[in-house]
Amino acid sequence: MKTILLVDDDRADQELVRRALGKVDAEIDFQTAHDGQEALDYLLASSGFTKGADKPTPALILLDINMPKLDGRRFLRQIKANEALRSIPVVTFTTSTANRDIQDMYQLGTNSYIAKPSSFSTLVELMESLHNFWFETARLPA
């Protein structure tokens, strides 16, 4: 199962990514969290979340930086410190192109940093590239 977890507080962005991924691979299990805390709850099966068929461990996390409660930096720091979670690839997927943000996220352990595209067609191309790399080319831990 190819599960992608998008951690982003913008519901419109969540829907655009869902639609773009649907054009790339209809079999992708697309999960969302609205902030880093909700994502941690999902990943750690706490706060009412239970792991199972409906909440599988993601093979890839797409992470926004600026979110309420627990932002992308703090979320990334926490999962990279967790032995059970640190091997999940994280792609920072955000509107920021600031060098400081890019540097911070790589120092915290992001696997890649991508600025959100401005057009839907470019988003579809980007999701296809991510899909091809992470699910066809790269070898991920079981």
The order of strands in the sheet holding 60-63 is 29-33, 3-7, 60-63, 90-94, 112-115
pLDDT tens profile 83-92: 888 999 999 9
Homologous superfamily assigned to 3-137: Response regulator (3.40.50.2300)
Q: How many CB atoms lie within 10 A of CB 76?
A: 23
User: CB of 26 within 8 A of CB of 130?
Assistant: no
Q: What are the pLDDT digits (tens) for 23-41?
A: 999 899 999 999 999 999 8
Domain boundaries, the chain: 3-137
